[in-house]
Amino acid sequence: MSLQRAGESKEPDYSRFPGDVGILAMDIYFPSQYVDQGDMEDHDGASKGKYTIGLGQHGLAYCTDVEDIYSISLTALSNLMEKYDIDYKDIGRLEVASETIIDHSKSIKTVLMQLFADSGNSDVEGIDSMNACYAGTNALFNSIAWVESSAWDGRLALVVAADIAEYAKGPARPTGGCGAVAMLIGPGAPLVIERGCRSSHMEHVYDFYKPNLESPYPVVDGKYSNVCYLRSVDLCLKRYRARYQRVNKEDFSVTDTDYVVFHSPYNKLVQKSYARLLYNDFMEHPERPEYSDLPQEEYRAVTPEESYAHRPMEKAFCAIGKATFAQKVGPTCLLPQELGNMYTASMYASLLSLVHSKGGDLAGKHVLLFSYGSGLAASLFSIRGGSSPEAVSALERIQKACDLDGRLAARTKLSPEHYNQTVDLRAELHKAGAFAPEASTESLFPGTFYLKNKDAKGRRFYDRSPRAKI
């Protein structure tokens, strides 16, 4: 059998696909309590700025024992459906992404199907995706593919990316967080996924993994994971450039994109990753004036593998990119810096931060997105903001509906002691049999689903706090 190779492929024909397929609407759920990273520094006896500057983080969202991965997913999805007045009958696909596993057989998607019960719609394709922080992107790609396939029946798709990031006591604990992003996928979207402009890198590594099924905590090799992340940036960018050139008949440079959205374990890695894009641009275009003061012969002689540990070079590109980072990446950083790492939801929380910041001004703008999950899986793809009056209105609606400033301000700051006690308790409950949560539900945001109890058969039962009066 003779296969047509990528370099010999015909020009892509997208005319048969629905127009402007992408993200129609999105929303996020995060818990009502958080811990301040400055307070964490003081509590841990860390040097001032270790978490707030060294990690680049401001706050860390966390759940008490009345919330779990099912409840935060239920809340995120129901809030999206209610805010945008979406009929459950209009949904033909739902895929959930998470690495927060509390059942080794039953999917989170099946738990969410209880929201569809009153509509009578059980004809909903899709199931869960799992690979560390990458699964949200896999769920998005699958949903886009469904809309563009012969299986599509004209209905819309939903993606829920949700995680609770918790770590054992030690240096990784301040990099936790919690969040759940829900997205509506279909044609005529204000955030259009660009066709043909997408690249991936997959590799077998042990940089972050969870081999202990009785614990929510991962095994982490932090330094190695950062190298894996940055190497994936390099490889995905190289392949994206080739795809972009083929589709658009022109070269691509990071200077050409309006915004860059990264998966954000912590903000310092986002800063380094943007600097890595500039390093790659420098290797392709050393003649550009912004690179004129660099020791070019020295830097160009450094091998890619050597470059990951080359601190002077890393600092140099961070300095060169400081101003453009503020313009292109800064508007994406709000939620990840305030909530912490949300694993599968992290990059999409960054995208929502961008929509919150720019709203209708994203019309016609090019947005580059880098998704990474340890183990590893990574992709680089792009979105373009729609330019029609309808698209601008939809962007402004997302901006208004998410109300990030108001919701972040409404949270309650709790102590590092409470945070540590809560995380330790949740680790014990992870392997517990029947239990009823101890924490109060009084402080939950309106409309939040919460766990009532887990019975002796491992079944979990939920209720919902009263919705806010409109």
How confident is the model over 271-293, as pLDDT tens digits? 999 999 999 999 999 999 999 99
Q: What is the pLDDT of residue 367?
A: 98
Average pLDDT, stretch 192-212? 97
- Report the candidate in 169, 233, 160, 243 with the shortest Cα–Cα distance to residue 201: 233
Among residues 263, 314, 318, 338, the one annotated as catalytic is: 263
pTM of the model: 0.95
Two structure tokens written together for 19: 């127009």
Average pLDDT, stretch 401-428? 97
Cβ–Cβ < 8 Å for 185, 24: yes
Over residues 131-180, the pLDDT tens digits come to 999 999 999 999 999 999 999 999 999 999 999 999 999 999 999 999 99
Q: What whole-number percentage of the chain has pLDDT above 70?
A: 97
pLDDT category of residue 3 using cuts at 50, 70 and 90 = low
pLDDT category of residue 301 using cuts at 50, 70 and 90 = very high
- Report the candidate in 13, 17, 22, 15 with the shortest Cα–Cα distance to residue 385: 22
pLDDT category of residue 13 using cuts at 50, 70 and 90 = confident
Q: What is the pLDDT of residue 5?
A: 57
pLDDT category of residue 96 using cuts at 50, 70 and 90 = very high
Among residues 95, 99, 125, 314, the one annotated as catalytic is: 99
Q: Is 236 a catalytic residue?
A: no
Q: What is the pLDDT of residue 468?
A: 80
- The whole-chain average pLDDT of the chain stands at 95
Q: What is the pLDDT of residue 398?
A: 98
Q: What is the pLDDT of residue 14?
A: 76
Length of the chain: 470
Residue 2 clears pLDDT 70, i.e. is over it = no
Over residues 339-383, the pLDDT tens digits come to 999 999 999 999 999 999 999 999 999 999 999 999 999 999 999
Cβ–Cβ < 8 Å for 179, 345: yes
Q: Is 333 a catalytic residue?
A: no
Residue 435 clears pLDDT 90, i.e. is over it = yes
Over residues 52-82, the pLDDT tens digits come to 999 999 999 999 999 999 999 999 999 999 9
List of residues 6+ apart from 34 with CB closer than 8 A: 59, 60, 61, 62, 338, 339, 411, 412, 413, 414
Lookup result for tokens 């829900």: 182
Among residues 41, 58, 95, 133, the one annotated as catalytic is: 133
Average pLDDT, stretch 184-189? 98
- DSSP letter at 91 equals E
Two structure tokens written together for 191: 């955030």
Residue 233 clears pLDDT 80, i.e. is over it = yes
Q: What is the pLDDT of residue 17?
A: 85
Q: Is 133 a catalytic residue?
A: yes
Quickly count: other Cβ atoms within 10 Å of residue 266's Cβ.
21
Average pLDDT, stretch 33-50? 97
- Report the candidate in 7, 71, 27 with the shortest Cα–Cα distance to residue 352: 27
- Cα(252)–Cα(244) distance, integer angstroms: 7
Q: What is the pLDDT of residue 384?
A: 97
Average pLDDT, stretch 78-97? 98
Cβ–Cβ < 8 Å for 452, 462: yes
Q: What is the pLDDT of residue 455?
A: 97
Give the angle 305-308-309 at the CA atoms, nearest 5°.
Answer: 110
